[in-house]
Amino acid sequence: MRLRQVAGAIMVVALAGCGTATALPVTGHGKGHHGGPPSGTRSASLRLARQLMARDPLPPGARGLPQHPVPPGLRQVPGQIGVKTLADIYRLFAVPASMRQTAAYIGKHAPAGMTSGGTGQIGGRHGVTEMDVEYFLNRTPRGVSSADLIDTIVPAPHGGALLRVDAQVIWYPPRSAAEYLVAKDFRAVRIDAWLALSGRHVRRTFTSRGVIGRLTRVLNSLPASPGGLFPCPLEIVSYRLTFEPVAGHPEAVVNTAGCTSDTISVGGVTQPALVDSGQFGTLVGKIMHIHPSLARPGPRSARPA
């Protein structure tokens, strides 16, 4: 995640992936464990990063510089705070045009297959000291969470500009075997819902094989989270699902609040968090018949219909 100044406002860039297959190299381990989503690998992510680097729209006259030493102002790698599975490669260039001209050129020349992730700048009392342009890959290969190019530009000491190009790829780590839930291993699922704005708590228990099957199928389809910090909306409703096991199997507990990831524990042991763009929480809300109107304060009963 990066904190970037865009049009005078601070914006948090979330790391999320489309997960759509493309003609680029497929990463990961085939179909994934237990038929779930594939994970990625560092080697495949580095190959993809090198492909992206070759697409960067370098301004006319850009001249490659040695990797070391990195000039002042370009030494800090664009941050991906807390991300565990990140491949980053970079190149340095000297550009005859000014910092603003360089940023404008790069911003007008989107690389093939990529979409603008916005522009940003850093400055102080003496004006703007850094500008950056970002592009995201339109469709990420399976096993990849996100892939982007980040161009960071600063003024050169004797005129022109210095440019750092980072190609960053974040891949999905493998899921643990324990967090793949088998519907027949559970006799019931107890769902607790907390409605933040009204301060109410709703609990229901389901023994339907269909309900348990739908919940486990969606959970099993989610990739493991690569980590990182994300912007979160106000948690209108949060859920805790307790899967009550049949004899000989462990209990599983899932917590979701509609904020990019779900936490899961099996037999009291915490498992890797799962990436969730809202599909699991939406399904739980439908099963519970909890709608936004029920989350608001007021005399309306919070009991599901």
Model confidence pLDDT, tens digit, residues 97-111 = 999 999 999 999 999
**62 & 205 share domain:** no
Structure tokens at 18: 């489309």
In a domain, 65, yes or no: yes
**26 & 52 share domain:** yes
- DSSP bridge partners of 120: 132
**77 & 59 share domain:** yes
**249 & 156 share domain:** no
Single out the residue of 55, 69, 48, 86 nearest to residue 162, CA to CA: 69
**Does the bond joining 141 to the residue before it have cis omega, within 30 degrees of 0?**
no
Structure tokens at 280: 């699991």
Q: Map tokens 């000989």 to a residue.
A: 248
In a domain, 305, yes or no: no
In a domain, 164, yes or no: yes
Domain end: 171, 192, 208, which one? 171
Q: How confident is the model at residue 34 (pLDDT cuts 50, 70, 90)?
A: low
**45 & 86 share domain:** yes
Q: Across all residues in the chain, what is the average pLDDT?
A: 83
Domain range for 184 is 177-295
Q: What is the pLDDT of residue 236?
A: 80
In a domain, 82, yes or no: yes
**164 & 189 share domain:** no
**246 & 149 share domain:** no
**237 & 124 share domain:** no
In a domain, 300, yes or no: no
Structure tokens at 93: 């260039």
If you average pLDDT over residues 168-191, what whole number do you get? 96
If you average pLDDT over residues 205-229, what whole number do you get? 94
Domain end: 171, 189, 207, which one? 171
**pLDDT tens readout for residues 250-288:** 999 999 986 788 999 999 999 999 998 888 999 999 999
**191 & 284 share domain:** yes
Which value, in Å, is the radius of gyration of the alpha carbons in the chain?
23
CB 117 within 8 A of CB 134: yes
Distance CA 152, CA 130 (A): 7
Q: What is the pLDDT of residue 81?
A: 76
pLDDT: is 249 or 232 the higher one?
A: 249
CB 256 within 8 A of CB 278: no
167 CA to centre of own chain: 16
**192 & 71 share domain:** no
**214 & 131 share domain:** no
Looking at the structure of the chain, the number of domains it has is 2
Task: Report the CATH number at residue 259.
Answer: 2.60.40
Asked if residue 28 has pLDDT above 50, the reply is: no
Asked if residue 96 has pLDDT above 50, the reply is: yes
In a domain, 302, yes or no: no
In a domain, 236, yes or no: yes
In a domain, 301, yes or no: no
Structure tokens at 101: 């001209």
**160 & 216 share domain:** no
Domain end: 171, 191, 221, which one? 171
Q: What is the pLDDT of residue 303?
A: 36
